[in-house]
C-alpha cells in the first residue's frame, strides 16, 4: 500500500522503512498492554503447580550421573540392566 501512496523515488529512499517503524510502534504498544494486565488468581495458582511437581522429578543430568538399576538399550536391540553388566 505504501508503494502506491509514495512516488517511486521516495519509496526507494525512505518509504520502505515505514512498515518496520510501524511494527516497532505496535510492539511497544503490545508490551505496554501485556505488562499492565494483572493475571487472575487461577492463572497464578496454575503457574505455581508445575514448579512444585518439577522439583520432585529427577533431572536428565541426575539420571545420567546415576543410571543404576535403569534399563538401557544396547545395539542388539535388547534391554540390558546397568547393574547386570558387572
pLDDT (tens, 9 = 90+) of the chain, 86 residues, equals 667 778 888 888 888 889 899 999 999 999 999 999 998 999 888 888 766 556 677 777 777 877 665 555 555 555 556 555 55
- Does 4 reside within a domain? no
Q: How many domains does the chain have?
A: 1
User: Which cell is 76 given?
Assistant: 542388539
Q: What is the pLDDT of residue 23?
A: 97
- Does 59 reside within a domain? yes
- Does 45 reside within a domain? yes
Structural domain harbouring 55? 38-67
Distance from C-alpha of 8 to C-alpha of 14, rounded to nearest angstrom: 10
- Does 52 reside within a domain? yes
Contacts of 11 (CB under 8 A, 6+ apart): 2, 3
Q: What is the pLDDT of residue 10?
A: 85
Contacts of 47 (CB under 8 A, 6+ apart): 39
- Does 73 reside within a domain? no
- Does 12 reside within a domain? no
Q: What is the pLDDT of residue 37?
A: 92
- pTM for the full model? 0.44
Amino acid at each position: 500500500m505504501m508503494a502506491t501512496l509514495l512516488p517511486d523515488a521516495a519509496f526507494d529512499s525512505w518509504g520502505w522503512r515505514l512498515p518496520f517503524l510501524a511494527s516497532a510502534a505496535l510492539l511497544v504498544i503490545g508490551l505496554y498492554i501485556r505488562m499492565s494486565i494483572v493475571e487472575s488468581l487461577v492463572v497464578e495458582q496454575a503457574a505455581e503447580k508445575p514448579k512444585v511437581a518439577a522439583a520432585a522429578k529427577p533431572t536428565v543430568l541426575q539420571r545420567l550421573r546415576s543410571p543404576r538399576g535403569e534399563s538401557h538399550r544396547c545395539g542388539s536391540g535388547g534391554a540390558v540392566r546397568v547393574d547386570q553388566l558387572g
